[in-house]
Chain A
Amino acid sequence: MTPSPVILDVQHLTMRFGGLVAVDDLSFQAKRGEITAIIGPNGAGKTTVFNCITGFYQPTEGMICAIHPDGKEFLLERLFDFRISQLARVARTFQNIRLFPAMTVLENLMIAQHNELMVKSGYTLFGLFGLPIYRRAERAAVEKARHWLDKIGLLARADDPAGDLPYGAQRRLEIARAMCTDPVLLCLDEPAAGLNPRETHELGDLLNDIVAETGTSLLLIEHHMHLVMDVSNRVIVLDYGQKIAEGTPDQVSNDPAVIAAYLGVEEEEVEVVMEDTL
């Protein structure tokens, strides 16, 4: 059975906070093996969408379905946040980096493999008695961590506390940590925030590399237009909680509605403004 081309199917997602409608009847699909970006001006509801997908908010209405390669479907709006990662294998990174600062780089990556190690440690019992089955599993986990550390260039700093790393390295570590959970979909919340152009470029390479090597699909929120245009296969544009455009990066960047939203002007005036600025 060929795996479905769709990895994430969002239908009629609506999020209301009291009287405020943050996300209004949003529907889109993210394709397997692709990098899908959600963009839009500030306040458009991007992070809200993210938080609904990753379980931090309970959507008011709508369905969010994650489809695995083997066809199993998971309704994310019905799962607890940790189950979304554990069962549906949807991982995320955070806008304000949430590493474990007092734990070493290696430990951060080991914690990501917690669930697998717990099973292999017989829910701690095997580990308590030092049985070989656990020791083998731990060694394998360290190997996986080592692989990712090598990929993000932090192998030399494996035993340093994560809080000591420079900002760019912390970002990469957070991504690697999420990847250590072997997700089928990785959601990144503004991964390029605070990075300089060179680091942003390296981030783009890393993201492409992740997709190519592991087949994990990516969903990202971004403001850095260069990054979005460079790496995304598909872009979805939000404004005031609604989808106003969807398509390839080229299609979206030339869409007058999108330009209008970013410039804050009415669609009809876009041409006038564009002429003035260009």
Chain B
Amino acid sequence: MANGNASDASVKNGLDLTGALKDALIAGIVAFGLFSLILGLRTEQGPTGALILLPRPQLLFTSVILVMAGRFLIALFFRAGALRRPATFIPAPFVRVNYLGNIAGGALLIFALLIPVMFFENRYILDVAILVMTYVMLGWGLNIVVGLAGLLDLGYVAFYAVGAYSFALLATNFGWSFWICLPLAGIVAAFWGILLGFPVLRLRGDYLAIVTLAFGEIIRLVILNWQEFTGGPNGLSGIPRPSFFGLPFNANDDGFAAYFGLEFNPSHRVVFLFYVILTLALITNLVTLRLRRLPIGRAWEAMREDEIACRSLGINTTNTKLTAFALGAMFGGIAGSFFATRQGFISPESFTFMESAMIVAIVVLGGMGSQLGVALAALIMVGGFEVFREFEQYRMLIFGLAMVGIMVWRPRGLISQRDPSIHLTAAKPIPAKIVEEARS
């Protein structure tokens, strides 16, 4: 099919039924080919233990019909016959967000603060809220690396893991409190960020992505296999739960509830945890917003646009990248510490590549560098993921397809504009089409 563009579509006036039918037919043939063996025949363990084939003609038939119908509708709606730049046809709801963004951000913050109050009895919602908040923090942390500095990091989960394991090992071996171990774990993670970043940050885009992916996997595999140190596949358990600055969350007389004259409720601890992660995330956010207005933040964004130009202006881009990487790693490590104390138990299964992919998807979906976008994206993706929990296997499939779909629909993310970090007269947000990816 030729490279269609908007002008092709504007020529045809009515609905192009024959074109759509043709497209649907082709789609049907392709779908049939794709699904014929995989959906049409199911391999199952037969009576002898060897595999047998079970035909599923209805499934095949229905799937093909669904694909044809879907293709037909899409072809009709977009006239040009292919999913070509639909963002130009669909009004983008989030484009002019400047003033609106501040309101939305404020509203979300108030809502977040009130969640435990509103849903105090609903343990499930509190857990989901904590999960979403954790990913918001991870997203904000990675946003420094990917969104601001433009470094493709596919191995962010490594720092999450380093933070979690550092925290667990410090807490279980030395018995220090949460508030001491947390920053220490962050520093360890930052240290690893510098260590891992140093050799790789001069690599170009895609290569950097793959090498960070490799590092993430190496760390996971080492954790998995180094039984003596990390507990291997069994992980580490017995990680101390946080206390309210010394008051444990139990039903004893020296507990939190007794101290404040409240009736003991297991939700107290959960609420406390929620506020802890909320605070940590907000700190991440504030630091990021602050840094953006400082020379280092501007250098990150400039580096994202054109590294060679930065170097010609005397900026040591290696150090600049390392700073972004280390800072992102630190926040990832702190989030990992929180994760460890929240669960009480960690194992390598929680630190797979899927996590890194999820967090990168959150950042990219949010829109490069936009804090609000990242928060919204985390809410949608993690929240959506939870909502679809009943669908079990299907939800991962939908998740994958959704990633493809969202990228095709809005490659620049939800909030596709950039706010200048400094202005002379008036701050004018810069629209998406100018926010180009780095040259190299």
Contacts and interface: CB of A to CB of B under 8 A. Distances in A.
Find out whether A and B make contact in their complex, taking CB atoms under 8 A apart as touching: yes
A112 B306 CA distance: 13
B246 interface: no
A82 B311 contact: yes
Nearest to A88: B314
A49 B426 CA distance: 42
B305 A107 contact: no
A91 interface: yes
Interface in B262-300: 287, 290-291, 293-296, 298-299
B167 to A, nearest CB: 25
A181 B427 CA distance: 25
Contact of A177 (B295, B301, B313, B435): B313
* Residue among B293, B295, B308, B421 facing the most chain A CB atoms (10 A cut-off): B295
Interface in A199-229: none
B421 A142 contact: no
A30 interface: no
B299 A85 contact: no
B313 A103 contact: no
A85 B424 contact: no
B228 interface: no
A118 B296 CA distance: 7
B422 A128 contact: no
A102 interface: yes
A159 B317 contact: no
B12 interface: no
Interface residues of A, number: 44
Contact of B291 (A94, A106, A128, A163): A128
A85 B420 contact: no
Contacts of A99: 306, 309
Contacts of A84: 314
B308 A114 contact: no
B295 A104 contact: no
Contacts of B424: 106, 142, 146, 158-159
B309 A104 contact: no
Contact of B312 (A92, A102, A113, A127): A92
Nearest to B296: A124
Given A111-B310, A114-B314, A121-B294, A104 B299 contact: no
B314 A86 contact: yes
B309 A114 contact: no
B436 interface: yes
A245 to B, nearest CB: 29
A4 interface: no
B358 to A, nearest CB: 27
A101 B305 CA distance: 8
A103 B423 contact: no
Contacts of A111: 295, 298-299, 302, 310, 313, 315
A110 B425 contact: no
Contacts of B314: 82-86, 114-115, 181
B371 to A, nearest CB: 17
Contacts of A124: 291, 294-296
Query: Which of A84, A92, A94, A114 counts the most B-chain CB atoms under 10 A from its CB?
Result: A114
A103 B420 contact: yes
Given A86-B316, A102-B434, A161-B430, A121 B311 contact: no
A117 B298 CA distance: 11
Contacts of B311: 81-82, 85
A114 B422 contact: no
Nearest to B428: A159
A114 B313 contact: yes
B22 interface: no
Contacts of A128: 287, 290-291, 294
B418 A102 contact: yes
Contacts of B291: 124, 128
A100 interface: yes
Contacts of B301: 100, 102-103
A267 to B, nearest CB: 38
B434 A107 contact: no
Given A86-B314, A92-B312, A114-B313, A101 B436 contact: yes
Contact of A98 (B309, B423, B434, B436): B309
A114 B306 CA distance: 15
Contacts of B420: 103-104, 106-107, 159
Nearest to A124: B296
A82 B295 contact: no
A178 to B, nearest CB: 8
Given A104-B423, A159-B426, A117 B316 contact: no
A103 to B, nearest CB: 7
A17 B229 CA distance: 52
A164 interface: yes
A54 B294 CA distance: 27
A102 B428 contact: no
A91 B424 CA distance: 25
A127 B302 contact: no
Contact of A110 (B422, B427, B434, B436): B422
Contacts of B299: 111, 114
A161 B305 contact: no
A60 to B, nearest CB: 22
Nearest to B309: A98
A140 B305 CA distance: 25
Given A159-B423, A159-B427, A112 B313 contact: yes
Contact of A102 (B294, B425, B435): B435
Nearest to B418: A102
Contacts of B293: 127
Interface string A61-97: 0000000000000000000011111100001101000
Q: In the complex, which of the residues A100, A158, A160, A161 has the most CB atoms of chain B within 10 Å of its own CB atom?
A: A100
B422 A160 contact: no
A238 B311 CA distance: 28
A274 B295 CA distance: 57
Contacts of A85: 311-314
A188 B373 CA distance: 40
Q: List 6 tightest A-B contacts by C-beta distance, closest first.
A: A85-B314, A86-B314, A98-B309, A158-B424, A127-B294, A117-B295
21 contacts: A85-B313, A85-B314, A91-B312, A98-B306, A99-B309, A100-B309, A101-B305, A102-B434, A103-B298, A103-B305, A104-B422, A104-B430, A112-B313, A114-B313, A114-B315, A115-B314, A121-B294, A121-B295, A127-B293, A142-B424, A159-B426
Given A102-B436, A121-B295, A159-B428, 5 more contacts: A94-B312, A104-B430, A111-B299, A114-B314, A159-B426
